[in-house]
Amino acid sequence: MCASRALVGTAKTLGGEVTAQSELGKGSTFIVTIATGNMEGVALIDPCPHTMHSELVGEPLPEIRLNCCILIVDDRREIRYLSKHFLSQAGATTREAEDGEQAIGIVTELMSQGSLFALILLDMQMPRLDGYATATHLRALGYIGPIIALAADAMQGDMSRCLESGCDDYLSKPIDKQKLLEKVVYFLGKRHKRQG
């Protein structure tokens, strides 16, 4: 919503407008116009429309259902909210921690009650205690469930460091709902096979 308001505002500032047409099940067409001023002597290229295909168009994605409790650890509220939204829609329950220290406290308390989170989503870049140190500490405490590292695309070279610190896999931000749910299902299935 904020991005679309910004686009409309930018177009208006440049003397133009944004229009949209949408057809259910087929997609949407957005047209952005701006006042270019005098274009005499400027080489032009042939316009070609850019088409983006939504996951809602074509083959429907298989519905993923979860029945577990997942800890989401991220210092950014919007990331926690989005992750919680995706996981809750699929049926999971969640708890949240704003940093590594809080996560360790929550996991320690749950373990003292003889219980564990089915999985932990763990941001790697956090104040106070980063994800690498948090994962190492959680493993030292005896947490044996899957830990999925959350990190920005720019950090993809740090995958080996994530694994060395105790994470099982890596998911880059911005979070893709389908990839998130597929990873959760994969690691929960793997865990059940080990226990079975």
Give the predicted TM-score (pTM) of the model: 0.67
pLDDT band at residue 16 under the 50/70/90 scheme: confident
Query: What is the token pair recorded at 141?
Result: 């405490």
Burial pattern 46-58, b for ≥16 Cβ within 10 A else e, equals eeeeeeeeeeeee
Task: Give the per-residue pLDDT at 181.
Answer: 95
pLDDT, residue 7, reads 60
Q: Which residue has the higher pLDDT, 15 or 76?
A: 76
**Over 50: is that where the pLDDT of 56 sits?**
no
Structure tokens at 35: 């006042």
Residue 177's pLDDT is 92
| Domain range annotation of the chain | 1-54, 69-195
Q: How far apart are CA 12 and CA 158, in angstroms?
A: 42
Cα distances from 76 to residues 69, 183, 194, in angstroms, run: 20, 21, 33
Assign a CATH topology to domain 69-195.
Rossmann fold (3.40.50)
**Mean pLDDT score, 165-173:** 91
CA 167 to chain centre: 17
Mean pLDDT for the chain?
82
Q: How much is the pLDDT for 71?
A: 98
Structure tokens at 115: 């219980």
Min mean pLDDT across 47-61, 70-84, 116-130 is at 47-61
In whole angstroms, give the CA distance from residue 138 to residue 103.
Answer: 9
